[in-house]
Structure formats: structure tokens, C-alpha cells
A and B are shown apart, each in its own frame.
Chain A
């Protein structure tokens, strides 16, 4: 009640400092919120990149390999059936045994043979098929190291100390010996870009998943773009104002907000169980993603059509164009850049989508790179999901690397959309 003694002006004056402090505080909250958001972006990207960049390198070990016919168990190099059965891993074992002569005992030997990846045998077979004269010859070769060795070698010299994991001291000793004699080398990991999935992290690649994504996206684009544009044209240019049109609009708006996993249920119940489309193939994935991206494409196409000024239509009608000619000759070409931008953004959304594809069986473990629309396939995000679930530590870096590739594609698509919008956007006066 002391305030009564003061005048209004004094009251305001005395509260000013407090109010300004509140103003400062409020601004700080806003600043903190933005900083938090930006920090999240930075942490996310650094986390992924710092985990994944090493996957683009692969440890190789140099060995002297003898293509010993008796170890291989073949008599004729040109007989493909013999080559298919030949024991190429045996000559790798022999090479390792001659490199480390003092190894004895079953367990130690098994450890030793595990230095080199199981895939090395296929490399040797390919070499022998290409150069048959190598039989019974000896040559020095760089072979892919096992994933445990790879992880260990990559972590040597890091701040946290070398990651030993499943590496026994003996194995570490072998690797150190190899490092000392310069027989270990880091090379660009070609397998990662040229191979399909594998249970062995050092052999696993994203080519299969990337091709699966490509085929799925082609189906999605081929279906959703024409249907989406046609629907947008109908709603903007032809639709009469009635209940039916309202129903269509309400449906489109709701579908845009339906959780993506529901589209997976739809795909499972309708496409697979009812129409008997085969599981796990890009066709069914593309169909489901089409239904999911359609609302996005319809909404952005409608915005693009709306942006074409009515004077264009009136001029066309004025010189005698029919409604169909107005749309096909005038409105669509002018709205095309906006529609394409919307389509690219819709495709980026489809490329990153995982949940509905899990429902329709695109989570299978598929080694072969798919060659068509009806080959069983998986897609990049699902591959990431599968690898993230794998127990081998080496898959952590593979997963992060696959995420980097996926993000690179997404950034590329979004940049393309932005450039397209900037280049082709026309401002109407």
C-alpha cells in the first residue's frame, strides 16, 4: 500500500528496471532455444561423421601366397567346376602359417587364420581365373583383413587407446609385427560401394541397398508424379464445388498426416494379401511409397497451379482455347517448375522412409545386388536399420557411413529442388 504515496510516473519509473530485465531474459530464452536447435544439428552431424568416416578405409594385409595345386585340390585350372570347389582359403591359411611359423595349438591357429577375411578366397579365385599361369606360382598380394583386425588397426593411436574387443594379446602381437614390417595398409574401401549386404562387416556394401532404393524410387516417381499432377489439375481447374470435391480435399489433407506405418499395414493387407504382389520387391515398395507421397505432391502441385495468374487462362480462353488446351498448353508448362520441386521433395521423403517398408518384407537379408523391379531388394534406410541391429562393432562405422551416403543423397535432392525453384521461379506482377 506504500505505492499509493507515489505518483503514477514514479511507479512506472521504479518498475522499469525490472521490466527491462524481464525483456532481456525473454530474449535470452529465444536465443537459447535457437542455439539448442542449431547445436542438435551440429552434434548429430559430427557424431555420425566421426563414427562413420573410417568406414571408407579398409585394412589390407600383405601376404606371400602360393597357388599350390595340391592344397587347392585341383588338377586343371580351366575346369570351372574344380575351381568352384577349390580350397582357396586353404592357401591363405598356408600363407599365414608360413608368415608366423611359431604358432601351435588349435585355438591359436584358428585365431591366426582369422586375421584375413573369409572373402579373401574369392579374390584369389578371381585372380587365378584371370591368370591361369599363376598355378603353383608364388606372388605377394594385399588381402582384406578381418573386421576385428580392421577395427583394432583403425583405433591404434586414438585418444581412448586401441580398441581390443575380441582381440587376444597374441593377435594384437601379430598385427603389431605386421605393422612393423609395413605389411598392413589402409586403402579406399571399394567393397563398400560395389558389394551387396554381407554377414562379414569387411565385405558388406551398400550397392544392393542403393540399387533397391533406385528401383523403388523409379516406381514411386513414375506413379506418383502423373497421378499427383492430374489430381491437382482436376481440383484446381475442373472440380465443381460439391460434396464429392470436399470429400477428396479432406481425404488428401488427412492422408498427409497419417503415420507412415499405417501405409505399411495397407500395403501388407491390400497389395500382398489381397492382390498377391510378391513380398520384398521394389514394385510393392514403390506402390506403398506412392500412396504415401501422393498427398505431398498433390499439395505442392496445387500451390504451383494456384500461382499461375488467372489472366493467362482468360487470355487463352479469349483466343478460343478449349479447357483442356488451356491446361495442357498454358497452365501446366508455367506451373511445371513448382511441381517438379514438389516432386523432388516428395522423392526425398520417400527415400528416407523406413517404417512402411518393414511391413512389406523389404527387411530381408539380401546379398545379391537387385537387377530389376521384381528382384527381392532392400533400400538404404532399411539397410541402415539392419546394420544398426547387428552385434559386430565394425557395423557401427558401416552404419554411420551408410547414413552419410543417404544424407548426401538427400542434401543433393534438396539442393536441386532449391536451385530449381530459384532458377525457374517466375514472379508475376
Chain B
């Protein structure tokens, strides 16, 4: 039976289990004098039976869906004659693919090796018998659970506690998705990076100054050994992030100060949501804007001054990224400035300071840790930003600090290395994961420090 149908059947079965167990509990309560003599409400008896009916069989089904392919393919390969046994992982996959194609009729059976045809037939058999087996197991397990739920109903059964324990367990497992996600990220980037560092020494990756990941397929081709020195990428990333910060920090900070300290409620009511529109615009839109409007504009202006400007200048990407980050900084700074106690302001103004002196000498120093935390978060966002740089920054890894030149960034390289066909045993593809690891670690550290700083600062005034 197909999985979707099986799920529907399970749903119906557990509904039946619910009503049967519920009815039995009510019937048992009847001679005692009503349901108040039961330990739990009839609903909980019904739910308990439904859980017994559905949960174990669902777990079994999930396990099967996760592991059916590896089990079947290892059975298949094991059944092949000695001379066809694969030597490497690539060969293994190739073999499985051709068996799969023969089984589905894409490859004609007549032109293929008889052993493979036999394997294709056994694949079809294994698939159908496997599905039948699992369907039978799942259904019998759920019927068993249903019976167990029904049999155990009695006025002293603590059904509510059991149901609530399961409920809490489900909630806990949902909360743990966050941990599994982090774990998944770590495992995936660590595992592939480890394979990358087996091929390319970590020192070359971290301090090398030449990046040209194109690996030739044949070893006698030109440039067959790519070089993986990531310094130009780090410099490019930092250059663009720096430009973005030069735009975003003063503008974001000053607009936050103005909105918090000077603006009339009316201006604040209009300007704040309008600025926040900038935060809601998808990054691909900024990328399009940077590549098709800002970059040509900068190029023309620069040429008007007689400057050599690349059409994919770091300046265009950085400027637009800065605009994107303005609302991020301004809303964080706004929160921090509003958290400074009013008494500090009143004290300073009472001594005769002007408002700008109060802001510069009292409020700003008091809010500084929070602002620093906000800027660090913004830096981590700028480093990890992808679409703007993919569309507006270049691909050439140049080691330069000239904002009018073209640079490339870590995220651009991850995208270029991984879009399209991939070969998971070439350092070229694995390099993307090593870059991803760097990105993850750097942003993680930045976020961790920033959150610590902000939290500490909040405690100061609470």
C-alpha cells in the first residue's frame, strides 16, 4: 500500500480505537454510577487507545521510510556475482542506477548484462515484498495497539497522566528540533570539510592567497590542480561588509537617535514603518537593484572623474547591502536608547546641557554596549548575506582593498561551487563546505558575543 493511503488507514483505525475505548470506559462507569467514578475523563481513555494505536506503528513506518533504500540496495549488491562487485562508491552508485533503470524500463533488458537484469527483477520483487511486509507489520501493530488500549480500560487506569506524558514528550521533541538542526548543520559542514582538509591542507586554505577552485577532470589538463587559498575571499567579504557598515552604522544610528529623542509622534509613526519596509524587501530584489541600477551609476560617475571602475565593483554591492542593514541597526539601537532610564536624561538636562550634549555625553555612553552588540549582529548579517553579492559582486578572487575593483566573497563562492552539477569527491565541491564551516563559525562567534553583550547591558538597567 502507498504511504499516503496507509496514513489514511491509520487515521481511521485510531479514530475507531478512540471511540471504542471511550465507549468502554463509559460503559464500565455506568454500573458504578456515572463517569465521575472513573479516574480520568472518557476522552483520556479514548486518546490513550488512539495513541497506542497510532504512535508505535507511525514510528515503525518512519523508520522504514528512512532506511528502506540502503537496506534494499545492500541486499541487491550482495546478491550480485563476484565479478560485478563494485570497488568504489562511484561504481556502486553507477551500478545501482543502471539496475534502477533496467527495472523501470528506461534501459532495455536485452542489451544489459543478465546478472543486472536478474538484479533488476529482484529489485522489483524486493520493493513490492518490502512494501507489503511493512504494510502488514504497520497494520497489525496498530490493531494490536488498539486492542491493548481497549483491554486496559478500567476505572482505576490513570489514563490522563499517561496521555499527558505523551503530550509533553511530543512537545519536547518539537523543541528539540532546534538542537537537531544545529547538530545537522555542524555534522554536514564538519564531515564534508574534514574530507576537504584531507585533500587540501588546512594551512593552505587559511593562509593561501590564491583561489582558483576549477579542477580539471583529466589530470593532464591545464590548471589541473586548483588552488584553495581563501584569504582573497575573506578580504573581499570584509571589504564589502566594511562598506556596508560605513553606510549602515551612521545612518541607522542617527535615525534611531532622531526618532527616539527628537521626532514628533507623527513623524515617528510614518518614518519608522517606512524604514522597516527596507528590512522586509527580499535580498534578491536588492541584488537586482545593485546590479542593474547602482553599479552602472557608480561606473558612470567614476568614469566622469576619470577613475577606473569595475562594472562589478565592491562599492555597489557594499552600498546596497548597507541600505539593507539600515533598519536592522536602527531598530536595535532604538530599543537600546529607549531602555536608558529617563532619570539620566532629566539629570543631564537639569544641569543645563543641550539635548545633543545629553545624547552625546550621557545617553550614548550608557547605551554603548547595546549598540556595539547590535552592530556585531549587523556585521554577522553582512558577512552571511548572499544574494546581493551573488548578483552584484564578481567571481574573480582578487586580493585588493580598492572598493572600485571587483572582489568576491565567501558566500558567492559557496553558491558558484554548489549550483549545477556536483561531484562529491572533488575538493572543488567540498571547498564550499569548508567555506560554509568558516562562515558558520564566524557568525556563531559574533552572534554569541553580541547576545552576551546585549544581555549583560539589559541586566544593568533592569
Q: Do A and B bind each other?
A: yes
B357 to chain A, nearest CB (A): 7
Interface positions, chain B 375-423, Cβ under 8 Å from A, are 377, 380-381, 383-387, 390-391, 411, 414-415, 418-419
Contact A352–B424 (Cβ < 8 Å): no
Contact B281–A44 (Cβ < 8 Å): yes
Is the C-beta of A235 less than 8 angstroms from some C-beta in chain B?
yes
Contact B285–A40 (Cβ < 8 Å): no
Contact of B164 among A268, A323, A410 (CB under 8 A): A323
A26 to chain B, nearest CB (A): 4
Is the C-beta of B280 less than 8 angstroms from some C-beta in chain A?
yes
Could you tell me how many residues of chain B have their Cβ less than 8 Å away from some Cβ of chain A? 89
Is the C-beta of B451 less than 8 angstroms from some C-beta in chain A?
yes
**Which partner residue on chain B sits nearest A295 by CB separation?**
B178
Contact of A388 among B277, B391, B433 (CB under 8 A): B391
Is the C-beta of A31 less than 8 angstroms from some C-beta in chain B?
yes
Could you say which of B206-214, B222-230, B254-262 contacts chain A? B254-262
Contact A262–B177 (Cβ < 8 Å): no
Residues of chain B within 8 A (CB-CB) of A307 are: none
Contact A265–B415 (Cβ < 8 Å): no
Is the C-beta of B236 less than 8 angstroms from some C-beta in chain A?
no
**Within the assembled complex, what's the spacing in Å between the Cα atoms of A167 and B169?**
68
A275 to chain B, nearest CB (A): 7
Contact B258–A258 (Cβ < 8 Å): no
Contact B284–A266 (Cβ < 8 Å): no
Contact of B284 among A25, A251, A352 (CB under 8 A): A352
Interface positions, chain A 260-307, Cβ under 8 Å from B, are 260-266, 268-270, 273, 275-276, 291, 294-295, 298
Per-residue B-contact encoding for A385-413, CB less than 8 Å = 1, 0 else:
10011000000100110010011001000
Which of B172, B387, B414 is the most central at the interface, judged by chain A CB atoms within 10 Å of its CB?
Answer: B387
Residues of chain A within 8 A (CB-CB) of B251 are: 33, 36-37
**Within the assembled complex, what's the spacing in Å between the Cα atoms of A363 and B354?**
57
A374 to chain B, nearest CB (A): 11
Residues of chain A within 8 A (CB-CB) of B448 are: 254
Per-residue B-contact encoding for A227-256, CB less than 8 Å = 1, 0 else:
110110111001100000001100111110
Contact of A30 among B254, B277, B415 (CB under 8 A): B254
Residues of chain A within 8 A (CB-CB) of B174 are: 226-228, 230-231, 234
Interface positions, chain A 1-40, Cβ under 8 Å from B, are 19-20, 22-23, 25-27, 29-34, 36-38, 40
Known contacts A384-B284, A388-B391; A363/B419 CB under 8 A: yes
Residues of chain A within 8 A (CB-CB) of B188 are: 265-266, 268-270
Contact B278–A40 (Cβ < 8 Å): yes
**Within the assembled complex, what's the spacing in Å between the Cα atoms of A47 and B288?**
11
Contact B354–A19 (Cβ < 8 Å): yes
Query: Which label, helix, strand, loop or mixed, suits the secondary structure of the A interface?
Result: helix
Contact A31–B258 (Cβ < 8 Å): yes
Is the C-beta of A85 less than 8 angstroms from some C-beta in chain B?
no
Interface positions, chain A 331-363, Cβ under 8 Å from B, are 348, 351-355, 358-359, 363
**Which partner residue on chain A sits nearest B421 by CB separation?**
A361
Is the C-beta of B157 less than 8 angstroms from some C-beta in chain A?
no
Contact B415–A262 (Cβ < 8 Å): no
30 A-B pairs, CB-CB below 8 angstroms? A19-B357, A22-B357, A27-B262, A29-B254, A34-B254, A34-B258, A37-B275, A38-B271, A40-B278, A48-B285, A230-B175, A233-B171, A253-B447, A253-B451, A257-B381, A258-B447, A259-B385, A259-B443, A261-B439, A265-B189, A265-B414, A269-B191, A291-B181, A348-B280, A352-B282, A359-B414, A359-B419, A381-B282, A396-B292, A406-B285
**Which partner residue on chain B sits nearest A275 by CB separation?**
B66
**Within the assembled complex, what's the spacing in Å between the Cα atoms of A30 and B268?**
13
**Within the assembled complex, what's the spacing in Å between the Cα atoms of A295 and B177?**
10
Known contacts A265-B185, A266-B188; A40/B323 CB under 8 A: yes
Contact B258–A261 (Cβ < 8 Å): no
Known contacts A33-B250, A260-B386, A261-B411; A234/B175 CB under 8 A: yes
A107 to chain B, nearest CB (A): 32
Contact B184–A270 (Cβ < 8 Å): yes
Contact A33–B254 (Cβ < 8 Å): yes
Is the C-beta of B293 less than 8 angstroms from some C-beta in chain A?
yes
**Within the assembled complex, what's the spacing in Å between the Cα atoms of A227 and B171?**
8
Residues of chain B within 8 A (CB-CB) of A385 are: 284, 287, 387, 390-391
Contact A248–B282 (Cβ < 8 Å): no
B79 to chain A, nearest CB (A): 21
A371 to chain B, nearest CB (A): 16
- CB < 8 Å A-B pair total: 252
A317 to chain B, nearest CB (A): 14
Residues of chain A within 8 A (CB-CB) of B440 are: 258-259, 262
Residues of chain B within 8 A (CB-CB) of A403 are: 285, 288
Residues of chain B within 8 A (CB-CB) of A247 are: 179
Which of B167, B283, B385 is the most central at the interface, judged by chain A CB atoms within 10 Å of its CB?
Answer: B167
Contact of A254 among B192, B384, B386, B447 (CB under 8 A): B447
**Within the assembled complex, what's the spacing in Å between the Cα atoms of A33 and B255?**
5
Is the C-beta of B69 less than 8 angstroms from some C-beta in chain A?
yes
Contact of A262 among B163, B359, B439 (CB under 8 A): B439
**Within the assembled complex, what's the spacing in Å between the Cα atoms of A400 and B424?**
36
**Within the assembled complex, what's the spacing in Å between the Cα atoms of A235 and B250?**
38
A169 to chain B, nearest CB (A): 27
Contact B177–A227 (Cβ < 8 Å): yes
**Which partner residue on chain A sits nearest B414 by CB separation?**
A261
Contact of B418 among A268, A295, A352, A384 (CB under 8 A): A268
Is the C-beta of B326 less than 8 angstroms from some C-beta in chain A?
yes
Per-residue B-contact encoding for A34-71, CB less than 8 Å = 1, 0 else:
10111011001001100100000000000000000000
Contact of B355 among A23, A32, A266 (CB under 8 A): A23
User: Known pairs A20-B354, A235-B175, A407-B285. 7 more at Cβ < 8 A?
Assistant: A34-B275, A38-B275, A226-B174, A227-B177, A275-B66, A324-B164, A352-B280
Residues of chain B within 8 A (CB-CB) of A233 are: 171
Residues of chain B within 8 A (CB-CB) of A191 are: none
Is the C-beta of A414 less than 8 angstroms from some C-beta in chain B?
yes
Contact of B287 among A270, A291, A388 (CB under 8 A): A388
Residues of chain B within 8 A (CB-CB) of A254 are: 182, 444, 447-448
Is the C-beta of A194 less than 8 angstroms from some C-beta in chain B?
no
B428 to chain A, nearest CB (A): 15
Known contacts A227-B177, A259-B411; A410/B282 CB under 8 A: yes
**Which partner residue on chain B sits nearest A34 by CB separation?**
B255
Contact B178–A252 (Cβ < 8 Å): yes
**Within the assembled complex, what's the spacing in Å between the Cα atoms of A389 and B395?**
14
Is the C-beta of B160 less than 8 angstroms from some C-beta in chain A?
yes
**Within the assembled complex, what's the spacing in Å between the Cα atoms of A232 and B167?**
14
Residues of chain A within 8 A (CB-CB) of B330 are: 37
B453 to chain A, nearest CB (A): 13
**Which partner residue on chain A sits nearest B167 by CB separation?**
A324
Residues of chain A within 8 A (CB-CB) of B167 are: 324
Known contacts A30-B254, A33-B254; A354/B436 CB under 8 A: no
